[in-house]
Amino acid sequence: MAGPGSPGGPCAPAAAWKRHIVRQLRLRDRKQKALFLELVPAYNHLLEKAELLANFSEQLKSEEVASTPNLDSWGNEFSGLVSDQVSSAASLRAKWQEEKKGLQLVCGEMAYQVVKKSAALETLQSQLEERQGRLEALQACVAQLQETRAQQVRQLEERRAENAAQREAYRTLLKQAAHQEAALRRLQEEARDLLELLVQRKARAAAECNLRNERRERANQARVSQELKRAAKRTVSVSEIPDTLEGGTREETVPLAPAAMPELLEREACEKWKRPFRSASATSLTLSRCVDVVKGLLDFKKRRGHSVGGAPEQRYQSLPVCVSARIPAQAQDVLDAHLSEVNAVCFGPNSSLLATGGADQLIHLWNVVGGRLEANQTLRGAGGSITSVDFDPSGSQVLAATYNQAAQLWKVGETQSKETLSGHKDKVTAAKFKLTRHQAVTGSRDRTVKEWDLGRAYCSRTINVLSYCNDVVCGDHIIISGHNDQKIRFWDSRLALNFSCLSCD
């Protein structure tokens, strides 16, 4: 097994560049040493010469001291010889002085060179130490990078294993998705078949319901005609009826059968429509009583005291009579109410408060003053565009349908939503109060009409329809919904099914 320093080990590249650096350092040492090898022997030679000259000068001094008594003793005999020796010594001294000066110059120059080389050597040594420090730092960095590389290699292997596992899982999911898509197609086909079957059954049920309603209506008409025939056989003074209806107080009145009253009221109404209008109150009273009588005769369920739902039966209001009308020529007030298109407008019960809703998800309340609108309040909190707005009968609450599959309920005077009526699966296109402030009806594009109990904020009933619901209107027990299939449907909240369906083709 290869060790860290072996050529085949993981540290083989590091050992190679280490050896290369050592070789470079040794080569540099040899080059610098070669320069000093010539300088050091010359310096040693100069030192030896200087030492010899010093010894020679000391010998000359001793010889001069020794030769001075001899010269005094010898006198004139050796005067010529002494003069020759003195001249030779002087020449030697001068020569020695010259050589000494030259050697001193050479020694100074060599000392300067030594100092210069020593400074260069110190610089090189500092550079060498710096490079050795850098080399150690690089070695540590290389070791750290090698360790990091080993970790990354391990992580890479782990990631490859994870990718392989995820690839296998993805292939398995693809197979499962293919099987589920096939199952979904089968279920869609079954749902389509079931929907067709449901539509056929609904059509048959609607046809049967319409047939029963038609038979019931024919039976009611036959019963009314029979009652009218029996009433026609009796002799009644017709001149007394209008006075009685108009508020007369005759003491002698002939009692009339209930079946004869519709015929007499119908004759009186026809006569009043033929004559010029005398007063709106009399006409409205007569028509309202006619409507009440006919409603009581044609109602397919006779009510005694109270209705099935437990609430007292409310009578129809008098029908207003319009004598004259004109088309408006120009708008009294034009106002930029919303940042986007306006989808819904609704008056309050007393027509002094107006609510507008738009695609900017806001509801603005306006005071109607002198034919102009003054900003009152802005209701916020709707999660989508407003499609319908309605006031409750007291004018204290506002109900709005939105695109976020819910209806929002606000209290007038509060900016945030009070309740959220959620349960539809598509955008809500209509939201209306019933005749009380505690009940409401919503219609949606999910083919359902829902009744809501606002006191407990829950859906009390869901009516499934075969077409999109675009709008609803409400009475006490009657709900009328308009749909995308060109039909309007009448629903009785006291029954399980609708009792009439009209086409608008």
3-class SS letters over 421-465: EECCCCCEEEEEECCCCCEEEEEECCCEEEEEECCCCEEEEEEEC
pLDDT in tens, 326-335: 777 777 778 8
Whole-angstrom Cα distance, residue 213 to residue 396?
39
pLDDT reading at 443 higher than 90: yes
Mean pLDDT of 168-183: 92
CB 230 within 8 A of CB 263: no
Whether the CA torsion 236, 237, 240, 241 is positive or negative: it is: positive
Q: Which helix (H) or strand (E) element contains residue 410? A: strand 406-411
For residue 384, count CB atoms less than 10 angstroms from its CB and return exposed for 0-12, middle for 13-18, buried for 19 or more.
middle
Separation of alpha carbons 467 and 483, rounded Å:
6
- Return the pLDDT at 84: 58
- Distance (Å, whole) CA 133 – CA 255: 132
C-alpha 360/C-alpha 473 separation (Å) is 25
What pLDDT band is residue 68 in, cutting at 50, 70 and 90? low
By the 8 A CB rule, do 375 and 366 touch? yes
pLDDT of residue 325: 63
Which residue bears the tokens 């309050």? Answer: 348
Q: pTM value? A: 0.39
Q: Where are the beta strands (DSSP E) in 138-200?
A: none
- Tell me what pLDDT residue 230 has: 83
**Residue 428, pLDDT above cutoff 50:** yes
Taking residues 280-290, report their average pLDDT. 42
φ and ψ of 142, to 5 deg: -65, -40
Predicted confidence (pLDDT) per residue in 238-255, tens digit: 444 444 344 443 433 334
Average pLDDT, the chain: 76
Q: pLDDT higher for 87 or 351?
A: 351
Which ranges of 233-279 does DSSP label H, i.e. alpha helix? 240-245, 261-274
Q: Which residues contact 97 (CB under 8 A, 6 or more apart)?
A: none
Predicted pLDDT at 40: 76
Mean pLDDT value of segment 103-126: 83
CA angle, 218 then 219 then 224, to 5° = 95
Element (H, E) at 212: helix 79-232
Alpha-carbon span 40 to 34, nearest angstrom: 10
Mean local confidence (pLDDT), 368-392: 88
pLDDT band at 122 (very low <50, low <70, confident <90, very high): confident
Tokens 């007369």 belong to residue: 248
389 with 400: CB under 8 angstroms? yes
Cβ contacts of residue 309 below 8 Å, gap of 6+?
477, 493, 494
386 membership: H or E segment, kind and range = strand 386-391
How many CB atoms are closer than 10 A to CB 363?
A: 27
Give dist(CA 36, CA 41) in Å, integer. Answer: 9
Asked whether the beta carbons of 49 and 96 are under 8 A apart, the reply is no
Contact present, 457 and 421 (Cβ < 8 Å): yes
**Range scoring the smallest mean pLDDT among 163-167, 380-384, 410-414:** 380-384
CA distances from 210 to 376, 490, 491 (A): 48, 12, 13
pLDDT for residue 180 is more than 50:
yes
The reported pLDDT for the residue numbered 77 is 53
Among 139-153, 293-307, 407-421, the range of highest mean pLDDT: 139-153
Residue type at position 73 = S
> 383: which 2 tokens?
């999660």
